Amino acid sequence: MKRTILCAAFFLSIFIFASSLVAPCTAAEPYRIGAVFSVTGAASFLGEPEKNSAILLQDQINKAGGVNGHPLEVIIEDSKSDETQAVLSAKKLLERDKVLAIIGPSTTGESMALVPILNVAKTPMISCATGAGITQPVNERHWIFKVAQYDFSVAEALFAHMKKHGISKVGILTITTGFGDAGRKALHDMAPKYGITIVADERYGPKDSDMTTQLTKVKAIGAQAVINWSVGPGQVVVTKNWYALKMGIPLYQSHGWGSKKNIELAGKAAEGVISPLGRLVVWDKLSDKQQQKSLLKKFTSDYEARFKNEPGTFGGHAYDSLTMIVEALRKVGPDKNKIRDYIETRIKKWPGTGGIFNMSPQDHCGLDKDAFEMVVVKNADWALTK
């Protein structure tokens, strides 16, 4: 008798154990999306909010029932801000995890490294970096899209504002990193189109502690405005130096300026600094009729509630790219070809965090200078300006 009970208990426990293994398989197969972000390393200021945004969105979608009943699984790989590592991550995602699409990488260099791989693997990729070369020439970038605004759109937004205010001679300061190099090129390329002459072209390193010399030169040569193109503490140092020198000419910052942290750090020196920013950072200043406002509000407040930090423009890029792929998945199912076609042809007048997207076979980014608002710092807050 005792033996029978023991036997029964034994088989029962095996049955329970086995069924617990089988149970998840009865649910729908998850849709796998790969993500390659610079979570650590030099570009971690991009990768960190991007990773967080992707996790946030994944959890929200799965809580709401997934994609057509399938759970969404975003597999995030850290590229350590390194091209080689980005390539390895992408190969792992494509070969081992069999992902349907890849979002990221965070930087232009890493994105360029992945272009040939994704073209061979015939898998769509939506990059979160700004470089124009990622999606151009478009006939060689069949599978590649991007959601970050072009560098030259930033330059155009800056120059258009200057032209309107009668500025024709500018001095530029750029940081000696890939970000600054790309900005410097964009500024030089776009200046003639707006009748603007670059009279001083100065550089500084990412860890430099004083830019007074560069600013003094810009002033001495007779520039009517200064443009600073950088990310990180350099932009705060430039702002403080500009304020201390009482230069009497306006300071324009690039789109890298879009963090409240910068205003906090620069204090009263930041007053009057002008920059072209994506609407994400100024959503509460937009009119209620603006198409992006409601989604920006939801995204930023959800993000801040969970991560106790602001998502910034960069977090928004991950949100846009993942949202596009999820929408395509919902409409056309897990077919790489159809997902690609959907993004190319059906993302029209599509409000995202970066702007209103208009993808087309000729343009795999779909944003122009209208994606930016000109923003001035006023009373330690952002204010829209014309």
Partner 1 sequence: MLTVFLQFLFSGLTVGSVYALVGMGFNIIYNATSIINLAQGEFVVVGGLMMWFFSDSLHLPFIVSICLTILSAGLVGLLMERLTIRPLKSHDLLLMIMVTISVSIVLRGILAFKFGKDPYDYPAFSEGDPLNIGGAIIQQQTLWVIGITGLCIILLYLFYNKTIIGKAMRACAVDTTAAQLVGINVSRMVMISFVLSAMVGAIGGIAITPISLMEYDNGPMLAVKGFCAAIMGGLGRGRGAVIGGFSIGILESMTAGYLHSGLKDAVALVILLLVLFLKPAGILGSSAAARLRKF
Would you tell me which residues interact with partner 1 (CB under 8 A)? 44-45, 48, 176, 202-205, 207-210, 212-214, 216-217, 220, 232-233, 236-237, 244-246, 261, 265
**Closer to partner 1 at the Cβ: 202 or 271?**
202
The Cα–Cα gap between 48 and 370 comes to 27
103 φ, ψ (degrees, to nearest 5): -110, 150
How far is C-alpha 370 from the chain's CA centre?
Answer: 17
User: From the CB of 203, what's the least distance to partner 1, in Å?
Assistant: 4
User: From the CB of 216, what's the least distance to partner 1, in Å?
Assistant: 4
Q: Tell me how far CA of residue 247 lies from CA of 66, 214, 269, in angstroms.
A: 55, 12, 12
**Closer to partner 1 at the Cβ: 115 or 218?**
218
User: From the CB of 173, what's the least distance to partner 1, in Å?
Assistant: 8
Q: How many C-beta neighbours within 10 Å does residue 126 have?
A: 29
User: From the CB of 375, what's the least distance to partner 1, in Å?
Assistant: 21
**Closer to partner 1 at the Cβ: 100 or 175?**
175
**Closer to partner 1 at the Cβ: 99 or 269?**
269
**Closer to partner 1 at the Cβ: 14 or 244?**
244
Q: Tell me how far CA of residue 141 lies from CA of 58, 136, 324, 379, 380, in angstroms.
A: 27, 7, 18, 45, 42
**Closer to partner 1 at the Cβ: 204 or 252?**
204
How far is C-alpha 335 from the chain's CA centre?
Answer: 25
User: From the CB of 220, what's the least distance to partner 1, in Å?
Assistant: 5
**Closer to partner 1 at the Cβ: 71 or 233?**
233
User: From the CB of 322, what's the least distance to partner 1, in Å?
Assistant: 23
Q: Quick one: which H or E segment has residue 31?
A: strand 31-37
Could you tell me if 366 and 146 are in contact, meaning their C-beta atoms sit under 8 angstroms apart?
A: no
Q: How many C-beta neighbours within 10 Å does residue 295 have?
A: 18
User: From the CB of 46, what's the least distance to partner 1, in Å?
Assistant: 11
The Cα–Cα gap between 202 and 214 comes to 6
301 sits in the region (left: phi over 0; alpha: psi -120 to 50; else beta) called alpha
User: Residue 4 corresponds to which tokens in the numbers above?
Assistant: 């029978």
